Amino acid sequence: MGLSRAEHQEEKAVRRVHKETDIFLLNEGQALGEMLGAYSMELQLAVRNLSNAVNASRIAFAAANAATPADQANQWSGPLVDAKANTEVEMDAAATAARSAVLHDKSLLRQAKATAETALENHAYGLSQHIGDLSGSVDAAKEKLESTLETIASQNLPVTGTVVVSSKAKKDNIVARMTEVANFVKSAQASSQANITAAKDKIDLNIAKADKELAAKVADMVTKLVGQEQTALQKLRGPLTDMAVSKLRGAKAIVPKQQEVHSSKTIAEKKLKAGL
């Protein structure tokens, strides 16, 4: 009866922990999804800003080109030709970087998402060894992560002001204006790459932190569950006292060996005396 009662209590404890785990994993899935969603927005913003800078540079380039004096417009060599060529190279490089970043950022997001899902799977596996299969709970947590990520990532990016190339050169100094455009778009490309790198470092750090928190929470849940199991076992394995044995149906008192020998000797002596 005690064993049956202990098993029943253990089953209740496991069901309770299983339910807590379902909620716990869902919450973790949502938290990770929010992190990834914010990461996606940062990547999109970096690309959007670079694309805007490229567009602004093309407008500034066209304006400077239109302001070129007629006697300089058809030159085949010289500082102006070199400045225009260099500016076009920088604009084309930035435009290519913006297009490539779209695909690259998707790859970065997939990697971060895979790392987050692996963290959920690994820690759920450790807990499943104590409370049973958790594949359904993990799948639900992954779905929560995915839906949260998509909801955030599909939002509109924050509105920013119109991007323009700030110029300090004189209007008739076309070489200087072209140089400003080239420097502007080159700086925008470097800034975009720096923002992408910073966003990646941030999400890596956040996922690593979440992984440690997951490990700590799961370890705590396992410790409590094992402690409850040990407490139940100790109750069943408690030492039986002489009083407890005497209360068992059909139990007989155990006579010490020395006492038995002494008693039988006394009876023999009595018979001998009676015969005499």
Q: Give the pLDDT confidence score for residue 143 in this predicted structure.
A: 96
Residue 175 lies in a domain: yes
For residue 34, is it within any domain? yes
Residue 254 lies in a domain: no
Q: Is the pLDDT of residue 242 over 60?
A: no
Tokens found for residue 141:
């947590």
pLDDT tens-digit profile of 32-59? 999 999 999 999 999 999 999 999 999 9
Residue 137 lies in a domain: yes
Task: Provide the pLDDT for residue 16.
Answer: 76
Q: Is residue 83 part of a domain?
A: yes
> Per the structure, how many domains does the chain have?
1
How many C-beta atoms lie closer than 10 Å to residue 255's C-beta? 9
pLDDT of residue 189: 96
Report the share of the chain in percent with pLDDT over 90.
50
CA distances from 179 to 50, 70, 175, 246 (A): 18, 20, 6, 104
Residue 191 has pLDDT above 70, yes or no: yes
Mean pLDDT across the stretch 230-244?
A: 56
Question: Model confidence over 89-105: pLDDT tens digits?
Answer: 999 999 999 999 999 99
* pLDDT tens for each residue of 65-83: 888 877 776 777 888 889 9
State what percent of residues in the chain have pLDDT above 70: 77
The pLDDT of residue 77 is: 80
User: What pLDDT is recorded for position 128?
Assistant: 83
Lowest mean pLDDT among 10-14, 148-152, 219-223: 10-14
CA distance 94 to 37: 26
Residue 13's domain comprises 2-236
Q: Is residue 170 part of a domain?
A: yes
Residue 171 lies in a domain: yes
116: which residues sit within 8 A by CB, 6+ positions away?
Answer: 32, 35, 36, 145, 207, 210
pTM above 0.85, yes or no: no
